[in-house]
Amino acid sequence: AQTVTQSQPEMSVQEAETVTLSCTYDTSESDYYLFWYKQPPSRQMILVIRQEAYKQQNATENRFSVNFQKAAKSFSLKISDSQLGDAAMYFCAYSIQGAQKLVFGQGTRLTINP
Amino acid sequence: SQTIHQWPATLVQPVGSPLSLECTVEGTSNPNLYWYRQAAGRGLQLLFYSVGIGQISSEVPQNLSASRPQDRQFILSSKKLLLSDSGFYLCAWSALGQGVYQPQHFGDGTRLSIL
């Protein structure tokens, strides 16, 4: 069974600094997708960034980038120039290509200190 | 543009009472629909998903059920709620993949408290 593990229940960072959130996953599949979702206090789930496993190039979306290490089954999220609005729960998630479901990690609560 | 509506936003129910949570999607046809539950301090767990009217797949055996009476309507139900059913319930939709991954879009969720 596929599992997603986020080993950092909580993280904090000073505003304008950079923070990295960790995620590891376990799968025997070769084609899959990885995601980072953000859940602010409003509880809405917002897709931050996604990575296709067949792509070697790390995905980037403005201040958000990932470090995808397929052999190590690691998928970390880097947030540069942290802003107060980045404060939220961040969930790493996995989906097999062609499958209908997302498997989520336990989440990391990110606090931004002004 | 596509929108997803989920209601109610908050619900307090006694143990043993029935449940009906509704989710509707607008602006798209034949979406894939999903129900997730998020227990306090935990990630989301997929409960049900549907690829078409009347087609429901259950991921976790429990006293909940789901139905899809119309193309863009997805209902989560229970005949008798348990204390363990408390949590935050999220509905999501995605377009048909046709070999390409389609992202899931989430509703605002329903916070369910069982007393």
pLDDT of residue B99: 62
Half-sphere exposure of B35 (CA within 13 A, CB side): 29
Dump the DSSP string for A26-37.
Answer: E-S-SSEEEEEE
Overall average pLDDT of the B48-66 stretch:
89
Residue B33 has pLDDT above 80, yes or no: yes
Per-residue pLDDT tens over the stretch A19-45: 999 999 999 888 899 999 999 988 888
Residues in CB range of B44: below 8 A, 6 or more apart: A45, A91, A102, A104, B36, B37, B38, B90
Percent of chain A's residues with pLDDT above 90 = 78
Cβ–Cβ below 8 Å for A100 and B92: no
Among candidates A43, A105, A106 on the partner chain, residue whose Cβ is nearest the Cβ of B88: A43
Interface test mutation site (partner A, options B36, B101, B106, max chain A beta carbons within 10 A):
B101
Among candidates A44, A95, A101 on the partner chain, residue whose Cβ is nearest the Cβ of B59: A101
> Which chain B positions have a beta carbon within 8 Å of A43's beta carbon?
88, 108-109, 111
pLDDT of residue B72: 95
> Which chain A positions have a beta carbon within 8 Å of B56's beta carbon?
none
> Which chain A positions have a beta carbon within 8 Å of B108's beta carbon?
42-44
> Where residue B97 falls among pLDDT bands split at 50, 70, 90?
low
A31: tokens are 């084609």
Half-sphere exposure of B61 (CA within 13 A, CB side): 0
Tell me the average pLDDT of chain A: 93
pLDDT of residue B42: 75
> Where residue B98 falls among pLDDT bands split at 50, 70, 90?
low
